[in-house]
């Protein structure tokens, strides 16, 4: 009996070290720290909170900026980085030619003008999930995040506008083969920026990744 009691206590202690199914809003770590969790644990680690869009305007997030002053703004930097056939770069970072792949809809694109650069977690969703309480500089950093390849992605304008500001509860990429990667990247961006999820979003993440590998999600916290 004493052994069973001891084992029960040890099990309870280990459980206390895991993330609860609905974590309270609070920091997962400090800016610059790195955290890696299995995908399902990462979803559980996201802090829970109701969403609020009060006060949101798209101009609350300054973009696209040219942080390194090389003449190419954030949008152009993403297009250059994601092209599998490099475009020619002209004056003021004008791009001609090149080829891209849009994973949202499994399409190839031959002109930069046919592409949007999407925020994996849309600006409005970020606002709803905590960014409304950030400083203007933090929101600018979020909107132009080139330090994590999952934050911004070049996709067809059509697919991006279909997604708009929706979360996975109401929109997933038409290309079903990409959905596990999409959900993993969504969770990674929310972790990196310590954004919250509401109950509907968390349930959609759980449901959507039911058949996905429980692969590690590794992030470096941006704030």
Tens-place pLDDT, residues 124-138: 999 999 999 999 999
Does residue 53 carry a pLDDT above 70? Answer: yes
CA 85 to each of CA 98, 108, 111, 154: distance values in angstroms, whole numbers, following the listed order: 5, 11, 11, 14
Q: What is the DSSP letter of 12?
A: H
Does residue 101 carry a pLDDT above 70? Answer: yes
CB-based burial of residue 163 (10 Å sphere; 0-12 exposed, 13-18 middle, 19+ buried)? buried
What confidence score (pLDDT) does residue 23 get? Answer: 52
Mean pLDDT of the chain: 91
What confidence score (pLDDT) does residue 27 get? Answer: 83
Between CA 43 and CA 94 the distance in angstroms is 40
Give Rg (Cα) of the chain.
20
Residue 72 phi, psi (nearest 5): -110, 120
What confidence score (pLDDT) does residue 199 get? Answer: 97
Q: What is the DSSP letter of 101?
A: E
The reported pTM is: 0.88
Between CA 57 and CA 55 the distance in angstroms is 7
- Section 142-165 average pLDDT: 98
């Amino acid at each position: 009996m004493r052994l069973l009691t001891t084992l029960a206590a040890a099990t309870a202690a280990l459980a206390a070290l895991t993330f609860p199914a609905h974590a309270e809003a609070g920091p997962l770590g400090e800016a610059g720290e790195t955290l890696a969790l299995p995908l399902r644990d990462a979803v559980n680690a996201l802090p829970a909170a109701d969403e609020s869009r009060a006060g949101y305007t798209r101009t609350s997030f300054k973009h696209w900026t040219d942080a390194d002053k090389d003449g190419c703004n954030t949008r152009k930097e993403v297009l250059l980085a994601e092209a599998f056939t490099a475009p020619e770069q002209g004056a003021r970072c004008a791009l001609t030619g090149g080829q891209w792949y849009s994973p949202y809809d499994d399409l190839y694109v031959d002109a930069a003008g046919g592409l949007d650069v999407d925020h994996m977690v849309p600006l409005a969703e970020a606002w709803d999930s905590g960014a409304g309480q950030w400083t203007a500089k933090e929101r600018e950093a979020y909107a132009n995040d080139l330090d994590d390849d999952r934050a911004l992605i070049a996709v067809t304008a059509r697919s991006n506008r279909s997604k708009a500001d929706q979360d996975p509860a109401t929109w997933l990429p038409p290309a079903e083969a990409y959905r596990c990667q999409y959900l993993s990247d969504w969770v990674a961006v929310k972790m990196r920026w310590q954004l919250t999820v509401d109950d509907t979003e968390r349930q959609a993440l759980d449901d959507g990744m039911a058949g996905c590998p429980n692969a590690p999600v590794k992030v470096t916290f941006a704030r």
